[in-house]
Amino acid sequence: RLRHGRIWRNSTEIPAKRLPKVLIIGVKKAGTRALLEFLRAHPSIESPGPEPHFFDRNYHRGLHWYRELMPKSYHDQLTVEKTPAYFVSSEVPQRVFDLDPNMKLLLVVRDPVTRAISDYCQAASKHPVKPFERMAMENGIQGQIHANWSAIRIGLYAQHMARWLNVFPPSQFYVVDGQRLVDHPAAELTQVEKFLGISSFIRDSHFRLRSFKGKFPCLVREDGSVHCLNERSKGRAHPVVQENVLHRLRKFYKPHNERFFNMVGRTFDWKS
């Protein structure tokens, strides 16, 4: 009997490295790490920790390289990987389809204005940057929105989603509400379990709010230990951004958000 992922198995099956059947394709800074860490608590899920970046930067390394990155799993488990750059890389949807036209695609979204600020905070933690307002606006705050700045461009969800929907049918996507993942993680995970066709396993008792910045749920492991996401890189303090710049950004994103809501058949409670 082998113990694997909290399941006692009588079978003689030998676990093997398998290609993913599920991808968390994005969006960067919307809660993709939290989604993966929470899903990994499920006995039917296996996943590599780091981001493989296979379908974007490492495609030339080939499928053997990709498979080698995967943990061993049983045939009735699902391997999941997350690389948020997939959502915004134009060549990725077709490459994924070529590998597996049945791939299930998870997308976590968050208010694009907050997401842009979160992205900026990540950049600021690595190298010196100008204030957010100066990055976001061209020629001073009366000027145009700097739509080509990656922190802003990534938030044009409709543009990126349109490319994915050219290749995959809507039924193969599940859009996770990044805010609900913080406020009601078990409820959001139940929806994801349904979409993936795995048993309903993750419950409220899997989560605990620890002192970690107060507001983010941490995962309670099988042995009772509590696992929070990295305190330095997740849940960073955001700068206070000038209200007029926030207002301009919200106006800028509004039509894009509406297009996105139409595409996915769902609306989100965003300020923009």
- Count residues binding ligand A3P (CB under 6 A): 18
- Establish if 28 lies at the interface with ligand A3P (CB under 6 A): yes
Binding mask 33-52 for ligand A3P (x = CB under 6 A): xx------------------
**Cβ distance 80 to 5 under 8 Å?**
no
- Establish if 23 lies at the interface with ligand A3P (CB under 6 A): no
* CA 123 remoteness from chain centre: 18
Within residues 84-143, the interface with ligand A3P by CB under 6 A covers 84, 118, 121
139 DSSP 8-state letter: T
Class of residue 75 by CB neighbours under 10 A (exposed 0-12, middle 13-18, buried 19+): exposed
Instruction: Give the integer Cα–Cα distance in Å for 149 and 176.
Output: 25
- Establish if 235 lies at the interface with ligand A3P (CB under 6 A): yes
Whether a cis peptide bond, with omega within 30° of 0, leads into 113 is no
- Establish if 268 lies at the interface with ligand A3P (CB under 6 A): no
**Which among 146, 172, 3, 27 is positioned nearest to 85, based on CA atoms?**
27
Residue type, 198: I
Nearest approach, Cβ of residue 216 and ligand A3P (Å): 3
Tokens of 15: 């676990």
Nearest approach, Cβ of residue 25 and ligand A3P (Å): 11
Tokens of 271: 């300020």
Within residues 51-70, the interface with ligand A3P by CB under 6 A covers none
Binding mask 157-186 for ligand A3P (x = CB under 6 A): ------------------------xx----
Give me the phi and psi of 31, to 5 degrees please: 115, 25
Instruction: Give the integer Cα–Cα distance in Å for 85 and 54.
Output: 10
State which of residues 20, 23, 25, 31 lies at the interface with ligand A3P (CB under 6 A): 31
Segment lying near ligand A3P (by CB under 6 A), choices 23-31, 145-153, 166-174, 242-250: 23-31
Nearest approach, Cβ of residue 76 and ligand A3P (Å): 28
Within residues 187-226, the interface with ligand A3P by CB under 6 A covers 216-217
Which stretches of the chain bind ligand A3P, using CB under 6 A?
A: 28-34, 84, 118, 121, 181-182, 216-217, 229, 234-236
